[in-house]
Chain A
């Protein structure tokens, strides 16, 4: 279901063709990184720290190197030490520990052998002497006066620093007079919240195959959200020039932000270089959970002032994110997501605290879900206290175009009000709450980003086309690129082959992140098509013997008064005699990314004897700007929602006192299974983004922002208990009911 606001109608954009890569995906022919095998290939395995924090006194690999099948062994000594001020320093030490292991699971050596079993056996033969160091696991321990350092190289970002500390970042934003507003308020609600570490939970474990040739050049096949990023970071960690590395993007089995960095490629490259053989490195699920990208845990304090008629007059909030062992987490911008409401008076403080736990990584709208859980819970409590409808209080305070974001810049044209109205008018919201159930509402948004993209469009001799980009397709972007190109060129979407090319076959393109691929890379495709149309007009003018100005491009044909229209295929057929191949490349650093707002609604029951929550009905409403391929937009909304429900109800990292993860498997790290969920209904709102030729906003991230508060608010209305701690697992709900 789509609500359209002044959106033009298109021939191709907004239709639902079967994705171009669908055949390969459903038949198992699609090649993921772990599917590739090269002649003579070795298999690698890691030695990982069994300690949460320790100095490495010695590593003896001699016995391992002599084991059957072993061809190469690497340790931190095989990688250059980057300067701590190098922007890739943290990635480098996470890829392979130097001198100190910072968390349980930190890689400190790796072996390549003829078989995986031989590599694993050799890993077990590596002798390491450790000097144990204090293990810091919580925000309180990390920030305590005189706390031992988590990472002796950490320098706080964004503020003056007098040396290493456990503080990763500190941001403060203020406007208006918060204290005066609280003093004058009719109602003030203040609450504290906490959330657990959660993993992105992609199905495909990280994998790569690397072949370093005798010329010193590396061929890398890897699963990632950006192969130019893989090239740049691998070069940096190895101390190589970028031109030594070619990265071919494999299909990706889910990323959600967790594959916007690297873990494996420099290790496999060094092993390949030392052994002279291709090396395949595939993580186990346990390794994925112990040593790749969780999203930060958090604590927060939220205080909001309101008038009796529901105007939110002030917010004072503090967010503490537990970011893990290094400081390249840049997601505190998520805390800025307080900017869903006007709040004339605002004070926002956000910090990141280091702990001896895995380095955190981006996860859909990084750090916004934690903040939205807290803020949307307090707003719900205000609505309950004032006996206001939860949609009405949000409509009363929702930001519109021109209202300031938390940082003060004005919001561009946004669709928050339209989303609230779409939910208010929906069948779900207008239906009575089922007997014994309760209903919750939550909202949120994500800024989205632009960044750099390149696209090449080649017209083939017969009038078909190839659209080549550098954006790994993690959510159906190939189909979206083809749809926009079909709309521009006026040819059938299936006459277009969308390709994601390697780093030597397409212009530089930033990572598929920030909901940017369809927005930015799509814009590059549109620009290339438009340049191509100019060229097609010129060729048509030559063929027809008329002035360029006499030729217009209409629906895939060159049109001139008094002559038959010239279809695209008639022009491409004469490419050789009119100037040669028809191909255009466009590159850009896209500006004007449009924030995407969402409002969610959930009906659920709580078993008050077991604490178990059953979700009966769920609707996700989100502004897509324009949904280029509505099915994949809906898929993004549903996927984000389901991950958010998992975050709300059961997902959490459980560490023992020494920092060892106790539930490093999908049995005990509980993402939702299909039978846990109803069909997630979607309402796609289309308030076009004026900065994009087709109005695209990007939809990949916002969907995970509202679910935690949506579920919590429904649980609160079902039980009269305000749940402030994630996950809201059965034992925690039962304990909260018992203490009430």
Chain B
């Protein structure tokens, strides 16, 4: 096994082209435990953290650009970012522990392709785009199109995520993310639910609901979003029948497995509960300009 630390995207691209089967990493918070648990080590490891572009966060002209290897702690400590994306920030703040978050990255959380990755539903709900280094250039795709199944992505051999882009949130729009774990931290989501919505004159005018850990990939639930759009907000509370429809739609969208972490029935049920709660929080934030 060989460790490499390129300083440019081009250098990384060349290394990957020269060494089929090699693997890129950022914080290695998934890679190291996987290797320790007996997964075969790749012949060449490509550490992306020495590439400045992958470690930077910029906010210009109404757009955020986030290097794919940037520690999530750099974002959750950035008050401008957390004020604009409280849901995405709380999702990143749930990954592992403080120590993990000083190394974990959005690029790693996405490319590891775990169905339970906390940041992924919130990134999809916020319409985050991924910029991917290809063999001879870059391509940009929505985050929702990256993961194709547990441990599987649409990235071709030699491709890697360079950065993410997302547009500023309007003042009447906000997001929230909730997950269910049996403990309070240091655990993996049994259900995750991200909601982003817009409130205009006490009516929800736009809404996106994305669930994690209830299907092979994070799933956008159009029926759940539709249940919210048009719902009236009365004294800060979403109309009850809309919430019931929302919860039912979220539960119905689940395609979970029974495993040591949770049963199908429990995941379905709690997906509805968390989505209701996340929607309520997102409305509160949107109405308070958060």
Chain A residues close to B by CB (< 8 Å): 609-612, 649-650, 654, 662-663, 667-668, 670, 672-673, 675-676, 729-731, 734-735
State how many angstroms separate the Cβ of B211 from the closest Cβ of chain A: 15
Return the contact of B260 from the options A609, A649, A662, A676 (Cβ within 8 A): A662
Asked if A670 contacts B260 (CB within 8 A), the reply is no
Does B261 sit within 8 A of A, measured CB to CB?
yes
State A735–B264 Cα separation when bound (angstroms).
12
Does B184 sit within 8 A of A, measured CB to CB?
yes
Asked if B266 contacts A676 (CB within 8 A), the reply is no
Return the contact of A672 from the options B180, B183, B269 (Cβ within 8 A): B183
B152-187 interface bits toward A, Cβ cutoff 8 Å, 1 = contact, 0 = none: 000000000000000000000000000010111111
Asked if A667 contacts B188 (CB within 8 A), the reply is yes
- A sample of 16 cross-chain residue pairs with beta-carbon separation below 8 angstroms, ordered by A number, consists of A609-B273, A610-B274, A611-B266, A612-B180, A662-B259, A662-B260, A667-B186, A667-B188, A668-B260, A676-B184, A729-B182, A730-B180, A730-B182, A730-B266, A734-B269, A734-B270
Cβ-closest chain B residue relative to A662: B260
B262-290 interface bits toward A, Cβ cutoff 8 Å, 1 = contact, 0 = none: 11011001100110000000000000000
State A645–B66 Cα separation when bound (angstroms).
42
Asked if A650 contacts B269 (CB within 8 A), the reply is no
State how many angstroms separate the Cβ of B269 from the closest Cβ of chain A: 7
Asked if B262 contacts A731 (CB within 8 A), the reply is yes
Most B-side CB within 10 Å, residue of A654, A667, A731, A735: A731
State how many angstroms separate the Cβ of B271 from the closest Cβ of chain A: 11
State A724–B277 Cα separation when bound (angstroms).
30
Return the contact of A670 from the options B187, B265, B273 (Cβ within 8 A): B187
Return the contact of A673 from the options B180, B184, B260 (Cβ within 8 A): B184
A668-B260, A668-B261 given as contacts; is B183 within 8 A of A610 (CB)?
no
Contacts of A611 in B (CB 8 A): 266
Cβ-closest chain A residue relative to B259: A662
Asked if A731 contacts B263 (CB within 8 A), the reply is yes
Contacts of A668 in B (CB 8 A): 260-261
Contacts of B261 in A (CB 8 A): 668
Cβ-closest chain A residue relative to B266: A731
State A611–B274 Cα separation when bound (angstroms).
12
Asked if B183 contacts A650 (CB within 8 A), the reply is yes
Asked if B187 contacts A675 (CB within 8 A), the reply is no
The total of chain B residues at the interface (CB under 8 A) is: 19
State how many angstroms separate the Cβ of B110 from the closest Cβ of chain A: 20
Contacts of A662 in B (CB 8 A): 259-260
State A160–B50 Cα separation when bound (angstroms).
73
B175-209 interface bits toward A, Cβ cutoff 8 Å, 1 = contact, 0 = none: 00000101111111000000000000000000000
Sample of 15 more A-B contacts, CB < 8 Å, known A670-B187, A734-B266: A609-B270, A610-B180, A610-B274, A612-B182, A650-B182, A663-B260, A667-B186, A667-B188, A668-B261, A670-B182, A673-B185, A673-B186, A675-B183, A676-B184, A730-B182
Contacts of B183 in A (CB 8 A): 650, 670, 672-673, 675-676
State A668–B116 Cα separation when bound (angstroms).
14
State how many angstroms separate the Cβ of A304 from the closest Cβ of chain B: 32
State A662–B269 Cα separation when bound (angstroms).
24
A670-B182, A730-B182 given as contacts; is B273 within 8 A of A610 (CB)?
yes
Contacts of A609 in B (CB 8 A): 270, 273
State A634–B36 Cα separation when bound (angstroms).
37
Asked if A610 contacts B270 (CB within 8 A), the reply is yes
State how many angstroms separate the Cβ of B108 from the closest Cβ of chain A: 17
State A611–B182 Cα separation when bound (angstroms).
9
State A654–B260 Cα separation when bound (angstroms).
7
State how many angstroms separate the Cβ of B217 from the closest Cβ of chain A: 21
Most A-side CB within 10 Å, residue of B182, B259, B274: B182
Contacts of B187 in A (CB 8 A): 667, 670
State how many angstroms separate the Cβ of B21 from the closest Cβ of chain A: 20
State how many angstroms separate the Cβ of B56 from the closest Cβ of chain A: 32
State A278–B76 Cα separation when bound (angstroms).
49
State A722–B186 Cα separation when bound (angstroms).
29
Cβ-closest chain B residue relative to A738: B269
Interface residues of B in 235-276 (CB under 8 A from A): 259-263, 265-266, 269-270, 273-274
Contacts of A672 in B (CB 8 A): 183
State how many angstroms separate the Cβ of B116 from the closest Cβ of chain A: 11
State A729–B182 Cα separation when bound (angstroms).
7
Cβ-closest chain A residue relative to B261: A668
Contacts of B265 in A (CB 8 A): 735
Contacts of B263 in A (CB 8 A): 731
Return the contact of B184 from the options A654, A675, A729, A731 (Cβ within 8 A): A675
State how many angstroms separate the Cβ of A50 from the closest Cβ of chain B: 14
State how many angstroms separate the Cβ of B10 from the closest Cβ of chain A: 35
State A731–B184 Cα separation when bound (angstroms).
15
Interface residues of B in 49-101 (CB under 8 A from A): none
Cβ-closest chain B residue relative to A730: B182
State A103–B170 Cα separation when bound (angstroms).
60
Contacts of B188 in A (CB 8 A): 667
Cβ-closest chain A residue relative to B186: A673
Contacts of B269 in A (CB 8 A): 734
Cβ-closest chain A residue relative to B263: A731
Interface residues of B in 198-231 (CB under 8 A from A): none
Cβ-closest chain B residue relative to A732: B266
State A14–B260 Cα separation when bound (angstroms).
46
Return the contact of A675 from the options B185, B262, B270 (Cβ within 8 A): B185
Most A-side CB within 10 Å, residue of B185, B188, B270: B270
Contacts of A673 in B (CB 8 A): 183-186
State how many angstroms separate the Cβ of A596 from the closest Cβ of chain B: 30
Most B-side CB within 10 Å, residue of A610, A611, A650: A610
State A662–B259 Cα separation when bound (angstroms).
9
Contacts of B274 in A (CB 8 A): 610
Q: Which 6 A-B pairs have the closest CB atoms?
A: A731-B266, A675-B184, A609-B273, A662-B260, A663-B260, A654-B260
State how many angstroms separate the Cβ of A679 from the closest Cβ of chain B: 15
Cβ-closest chain B residue relative to A609: B273
Contacts of A731 in B (CB 8 A): 262-263, 266
Cβ-closest chain B residue relative to A666: B186
State how many angstroms separate the Cβ of B241 from the closest Cβ of chain A: 18
Cβ-closest chain B residue relative to A675: B184
Cβ-closest chain B residue relative to A646: B183
State how many angstroms separate the Cβ of A530 from the closest Cβ of chain B: 50
State A667–B270 Cα separation when bound (angstroms).
21
State how many angstroms separate the Cβ of A654 from the closest Cβ of chain B: 5
Contacts of B259 in A (CB 8 A): 662
State A662–B262 Cα separation when bound (angstroms).
13
Contacts of A650 in B (CB 8 A): 182-183
State how many angstroms separate the Cβ of A726 from the closest Cβ of chain B: 14
Contacts of A734 in B (CB 8 A): 266, 269-270
Contacts of B180 in A (CB 8 A): 610, 612, 730
Cβ-closest chain A residue relative to B178: A610
State A734–B262 Cα separation when bound (angstroms).
12
State A670–B185 Cα separation when bound (angstroms).
11
State how many angstroms separate the Cβ of A427 from the closest Cβ of chain B: 26
State A538–B263 Cα separation when bound (angstroms).
75
Contacts of A730 in B (CB 8 A): 180, 182, 266, 270
Contacts of B182 in A (CB 8 A): 612, 649-650, 670, 729-730
Contacts of B185 in A (CB 8 A): 673, 675
Cβ-closest chain A residue relative to B272: A609
Contacts of B273 in A (CB 8 A): 609-610
State A667–B33 Cα separation when bound (angstroms).
12
State how many angstroms separate the Cβ of A680 from the closest Cβ of chain B: 16
State A285–B188 Cα separation when bound (angstroms).
18
State how many angstroms separate the Cβ of B18 from the closest Cβ of chain A: 26
State A235–B117 Cα separation when bound (angstroms).
50
State how many angstroms separate the Cβ of B174 from the closest Cβ of chain A: 23
State how many angstroms separate the Cβ of A471 from the closest Cβ of chain B: 34
State how many angstroms separate the Cβ of B274 from the closest Cβ of chain A: 8
